[in-house]
Structure 1
């Protein structure tokens, strides 16, 4: 007797149980990706609000550029460090529980920040925000590893990562309007309350795939699917791998320049380009709009290469290495350009290329790590990235106080981008332990 599930029944309007199962899985998992994308946008509003209110808060509290740099980095240091246990916690207890805790806490902290009365209290809320948001991207990578196969994982991971770019593009004009109408304190409170609907939907609808669903999802993977184990993983063993260290170095170098954009771009446009606060809100959105396209292109390119038979790790490295190298070539000339239009074009091009690696960087961790350690390796790599991010506002602030301009900041960023490209290109290699 023939196996009718292999016949082209779709041509005569008949749907097989396998097709129905696949459609159900597809609808559910893309719904979850969209939900995480919404959370990502709100997540980055929480981060960007201080950058938008940079000048206003500095005037109210009487802060120097170096002090403002310390405040801008207050989120980043605890976020980087908290990524280490956050990845392990997501692997150990699952994304539903850990993400719901983090989302609730970061919403509350953002609201509280709107009622602070001085530098110290605001600094403390930014530290707590960093801890609370640390499980976010580790949750995203865990979810895409659960619900998508090796050949299709890059694009949904990139979609989740576009949340930061959408927020960064929308944040300057939107948060500037909130700043001008509600004040910086009201802006913080309004952003904090945005997360409540996401928390409710996440708790009600998110679940892990069943064993049968995983068999369907991973049927075409190069190695057989394995169930998502919840027991303890050998977290410390990841630091014995060369790949781990060069992923840390590479992501550190790339994220440094990205966070110069995120923390100092409004100030650069106001002080170096002579724009008003209102003009800055709109012009600052342009590089971040390019960043949205960059993230999606990077994920799509890597998935396309995998489908064409390129090994997964190599396919992820292509947009990472090319993106970092071309970003360096775009950022370096900004230091010597004094034409307004050309400067904005280079800023936008540099940010587009710097975002090509973002989805691929997270997907790379899921291609290298055993399935039970995906969040752990992703979090460790992100730890390295946010060490660079934490250094960026402080170093930029110190350079500005010392020189009064952004020239050396852009040159340093370009050099670090090339170091990132070299780290991933030559020192991160495929491993045979993905499904061990």
Structure 2
């Protein structure tokens, strides 16, 4: 697939208005998502939460965020970006407001679960919108820009803390929930498919569509079929391994700065704003760099690899953030970590639209969000248990520094130097069993059973080491491994060779 060569300055810029709408939507998404973590210290003092209680609440969000994206991705491919994202935003805004109406661990967990289910639509819809509105060489930059909304949403978290201190944490949640409805009006009037947009010039439409294959607009491929395409696995594994790094910084960084570095909640929120400024820069630069390389004549695959290499090289250095006695150096290294991850994320997301055509991009990114959510789900459980057990976050910092180079190695070994777009119009033969999926599913299910058996037979030891909640979280993680194994095994079974199977 070749990138268009016409200069962007001659064809209009309305596509960047679409990028701005996605940026603000993502910002709202992360304000609503992250407010609980920056208010954690305040709320846990009033409601007497333990670390394990907070772990369960965070787990509820990530469980929903893992369970629903693949379903929502197919919904987006079928019903379109505009209606799907609007409906999801209404739902998550209402759930953000509902935080102010609950006071028990179960109540917060229930609200967070519904919030996670609704927010799972943001990235599948946004990545599909970028694939619709941008030529290939600009997609990573557009993704980096709208993805920087995640950082801006976190950066302005201090405003939520100030609202909570002035009016109470309940009103803080209600206030942030209202913001989404303002964005909804701009989305309704500003977004449409490029072919239907009255604001798009013929020249810009031609620029967007240059070099793109003429494919049918919609194709219904279930997750069981998508898993049989080899191109999807590096993307899924990268999301599984590296998304939890972002979840770690998102959920546990405020309490780390507060408890292990001695910063009060307001100062912690201001430091987070500083840290995520670096993340915004990393997101945009990472997206720009691969587009720059494509513009210099690089093929798409090497350009993405080049942009992913730098974050993978620098992430291990960020482990030193935990060990340094210099607080400014600690903040600088954590800023580097968030910048590297977001530069990485812009290119990993875009690789999904390089490896699969636009008509199934919602489903593919939805599956990626599911695997990322599964990784985040296990991270919240294991982080809570580790902190409960060891009293610090040392092991988690070490783990977070190693995932990006490992993921890049998987990409290279799996795909080689170039990216080959999957031919989704000729799906694999579903009448045949898929031996690799059956094997992987069986091994994971057996591993989960073994882990569950060890936890069951050593229950008293687990409770003594990590308390009852920590032991229950470990058992939940073992059950999750069994469920994932069963899902892979199911995907590998023979079935009717139909796109809708």
RMSD (CA atoms): 2.2
Cross-structure match for 1:240: 228
Q: Alignment partner of 2:298: what SS?
A: coil
Deviations for 1:257-297, whole angstroms, at most 9, x for unmatched residues? 21111001111111111112222121122221100000001
- Alignment TM-score, normalising by the size of structure 2: 0.78
Task: Check whether the contact 1:153–1:363 (CA below 8 A) recurs between aligned residues.
Answer: yes
Task: Check whether the contact 2:23–2:145 (CA below 8 A) recurs between aligned residues.
Answer: yes
Task: Check whether the contact 2:220–2:360 (CA below 8 A) recurs between aligned residues.
Answer: no
Are residues 213 and 388 of structure 1, via their aligned partners in 2, closer, same or farther at CA, if it must alter by over 3 Å? Answer: farther
Deviations for 1:79-121, whole angstroms, at most 9, x for unmatched residues? 1221111111111111011111101111111112211131111
Correspondence 1:31-430 to 2 at 5 A:
31-171=17-157, 173-210=158-195, 216-218=206-208, 220-221=210-211, 224-226=212-214, 229-233=217-221, 235-330=223-318, 332-429=319-416, 430=419
Instruction: Tell me by how many angstroms 1:326 deviates.
Output: 1.3
Task: Check whether the contact 1:322–1:421 (CA below 8 A) recurs between aligned residues.
Answer: no
Taking the aligned partners of 2:9 and 2:325, their CA distance within structure 1 comes to 58
Aligned residues: 412
Structure 1 portions without partners, runs of 5+: 1-9, 11-17
Taking the aligned partners of 1:341 and 1:323, their CA distance within structure 2 comes to 21
Instruction: Tell me by how many angstroms 1:218 deviates.
Output: 4.1
Structure 2 portions without partners, runs of 5+: 1-6, 197-201, 426-501
Cross-structure match for 1:4: none
Equivalent in 417, 420, 442 of residue 431 of structure 1: 420
Instruction: Tell me by how many angstroms 1:133 deviates.
Output: 1.0
Taking the aligned partners of 2:205 and 2:274, their CA distance within structure 1 comes to 43
Task: Check whether the contact 2:311–2:344 (CA below 8 A) recurs between aligned residues.
Answer: yes
Cross-structure match for 1:6: none
Instruction: Tell me by how many angstroms 1:217 deviates.
Output: 2.9
Are residues 356 and 111 of structure 1, via their aligned partners in 2, closer, same or farther at CA, if it must alter by over 3 Å? Answer: same
Instruction: Tell me by how many angstroms 1:234 deviates.
Output: 5.3
Taking the aligned partners of 1:226 and 1:433, their CA distance within structure 2 comes to 15
- Alignment TM-score, normalising by the size of structure 1: 0.89
Are residues 170 and 324 of structure 1, via their aligned partners in 2, closer, same or farther at CA, if it must alter by over 3 Å? Answer: farther
Instruction: Tell me by how many angstroms 1:219 deviates.
Output: 5.1
Instruction: Tell me by how many angstroms 1:204 deviates.
Output: 2.6
Q: Alignment partner of 2:22: what SS?
A: helix
Are residues 321 and 387 of structure 1, via their aligned partners in 2, closer, same or farther at CA, if it must alter by over 3 Å? Answer: farther
Q: Alignment partner of 1:194: what SS?
A: helix
Cross-structure match for 2:485: none
Taking the aligned partners of 1:380 and 1:302, their CA distance within structure 2 comes to 24
Q: Alignment partner of 1:155: what SS?
A: helix
